[in-house]
């Protein structure tokens, strides 16, 4: 088995993300997710899907960070 056996189609990547295929196509068009172009086909490595999710994580706000942010505005 080679590395490209595990590459995902747009539809498979969308299912993995829980999003629509249209959303994944937009991510590819905007170069917001790493992908491979094989001829006319676009494939995404599962690790790149995981990296996209990890890189777009937003930490929850805490009371301390809210108050610190308000002090810097005044």
Domain that holds residue 7: 3-73
Average pLDDT over residues 2-17: 88
Q: Output helix, strand, coil percentages for the chain, rounded to the nearest 5.
A: 55, 10, 30
- Tally of domains in the chain: 1
pLDDT value for 74: 54
| Residues 34-63: tens digit of each pLDDT | 999 999 999 999 999 999 999 999 988 888
Give CA–CA dist 35/53, Å, rounded: 14
- Residues 49/33, Cβ–Cβ less than 8 Å: yes
- Residues 16/46, Cβ–Cβ less than 8 Å: yes
pTM, two decimal places: 0.76
């Amino acid at each position: 088995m080679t590395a490209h056996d595990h590459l995902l189609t747009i539809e498979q990547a969308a299912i993995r993300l829980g999003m629509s295929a249209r959303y994944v196509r937009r991510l590819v068009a905007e170069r917001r997710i790493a992908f491979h172009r094989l001829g006319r086909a676009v494939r995404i490595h599962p690790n790149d899907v995981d990296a996209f999710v990890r890189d777009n994580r937003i930490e929850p706000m805490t009371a301390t960070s809210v108050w610190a942010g308000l002090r810097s505005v005044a």
